[in-house]
Amino acid sequence: MTHNITLIPGDGIGPEVTLAARKCIEATGVKIEWEEVIAGEEALKKHGDILPPNVLESIKRNQVALKGPITTPIGTGFRSVNVAIRQALDLYACVRPAKSYPGVRSLYKDVDLVIIRENSEDLYAGIEFEEGKAETLNLIAQIRKYAQKNIRTDSGISIKPISRSASERIIRFAFEYALENNRKKVTAVHKANIMKFTDGLFLNTAREIAKEYAGKVAFEEAIVDNMSMQLVQRPRNYDVLVLPNLYGDIISDLCAGLIGGLGVAPGANIGEKIAVFEAVHGAAPKYAGQNKVNPAAMILSGVLMLRYLREGAAAQKLENAVRQVLQEAKSVTYDLKPSRDDPTSVGTREMAEAIISKI
């Protein structure tokens, strides 16, 4: 069977790593018809829109996409295209496995965690009020009236909505994921001691849903600051973590650090019927076009995609090939060598070729 898949190369290092992933996926023998579409700055230049309608149309039609990272200007400029895609398609579950591979230098061996991050709300909802604007001053006055709290009039405000329904579906997703993948424990991560009505709601929902899985999957809760320390001290004590959007974003980079860096951290954004696969890392603009960065995170995102497509054998073949190349640590990019200027490091293309040769 041929799978129709949307391919978004992205920008920065995106086009290089997606091309590497595409070649590796094709080398497994799985038949794929790629439909390439552009989003982000290039789309803005060509079509006057950072997220042209044909991008979402293509993903909706094909139901599966492989996506490179897309740059978001910091502080000013357009909002994240990455977040917009997740929100527009209601890809509510971000799944980010953090798994140690032998040969990858890191402080730990045998880390095997899965981060399940809520993708649709929290401070990422994009509800923001700019400092000094009339509506912001109005909102500040309303808050003063209803909450009887003073907010400085020269403040900007970002809103953090967390709902029972979105919490319920992500927590259920985490428990179902644990069951399907033979995982033993789900840890809900929060800051409910401070944010009682948002993180508190998330936590209470987790406690309720956990009861339905009692005896099948263990449940535990952790405050996000303490979780950060625990993960650094004892990462092997954890299994599946479920988190609201912002903590999920931060903790997934921390977990990438536990397994040797962003170069080996894959991810998926999953909704009811649609899934978009992308690495945890961003567009790393300083390395763009240099054939330098590690394609493994994107290739391993391809492995997740193949599993999602029920191409289990091809997924396993590709993951084994990546594992072998990482273990040999010969044909790998600079970030996987003992020093960053190691002359034996290879480029993005060459590492992908080495992986293909092991399939």
Strands, sheet with 218-223, edge to edge from the N-terminal-most edge strand: 31-36, 2-8, 64-67, 275-277, 268-270, 93-99, 112-118, 240-243, 185-190, 218-223
Q: Which of 283, 299, 326, 355 binds ligand NAD (CB under 6 A)?
A: 283
At 237, the amino acid letter reads: N
Q: Does 119 bind ligand NAD (CB under 6 A)?
A: no
The residue count for binding ligand NAD (CB under 6 A) is: 18
Point out the catalytic residue in the list 11, 92, 122, 191.
191
What are the phi and psi torsion angles at 221 (to 5°)? -125, 150
Piece in contact with ligand NAD (CB under 6 A), picked from 52-60, 63-71, 119-127, 172-180: 63-71
Check if 108 is active-site: no
End-to-end Cα distance, the chain: 20
Residue with tokens 């006057």: 48
Question: Residue 153 to residues 123, 147, 173, 287, 358: CA-CA distances in angstroms?
Answer: 21, 15, 41, 41, 61
Q: Does 63 bind ligand NAD (CB under 6 A)?
A: no
Q: Which CB atom, from 89 or from 188, has the smaller least distance to ligand NAD?
A: 89
Whole-number Å distance between alpha carbons of 163 and 105: 40
Point out the catalytic residue in the list 249, 317, 334, 335.
249
Q: Which CB atom, from 188 or from 256, has the smaller least distance to ligand NAD?
A: 256
User: Mask: binding to ligand NAD, 284-313, rule CB under 6 A, as x and -?
Assistant: x-x------xx--x----------------
User: Mask: binding to ligand NAD, 235-274, rule CB under 6 A, as x and -?
Assistant: ---------------------------xx-----------
DSSP sequence for 288-304: TTSS-S--HHHHHHHHH
Q: Does 96 bind ligand NAD (CB under 6 A)?
A: no
Q: Which of 25, 70, 210, 300 binds ligand NAD (CB under 6 A)?
A: 70
Check if 191 is active-site: yes
Closest listed residue to residue 185, CA positions, set 218, 215, 216, 222: 218
Residues 187-206 that bind ligand NAD (CB under 6 A): none
Q: Which of 58, 63, 72, 245 binds ligand NAD (CB under 6 A)?
A: 72
Question: Residue 193 to residues 82, 93, 190, 221, 330: CA-CA distances in angstroms?
Answer: 31, 24, 8, 12, 48
Q: Which CB atom, from 86 or from 323, has the smaller least distance to ligand NAD?
A: 86
Q: How far apart are CB 299 and ligand NAD at their closest, in Å?
A: 10
Check if 122 is active-site: no
Check if 11 is active-site: no
Beta carbons of 213 and 219 less than 8 angstroms apart = yes
What tokens appear for 261 in the block? 């860096």
**List of residues contacting ligand NAD (CB under 6 A):** 17, 69-72, 82, 262-263, 278, 281-284, 286, 293-294, 297, 335
Active site residues: 124, 191, 225, 249
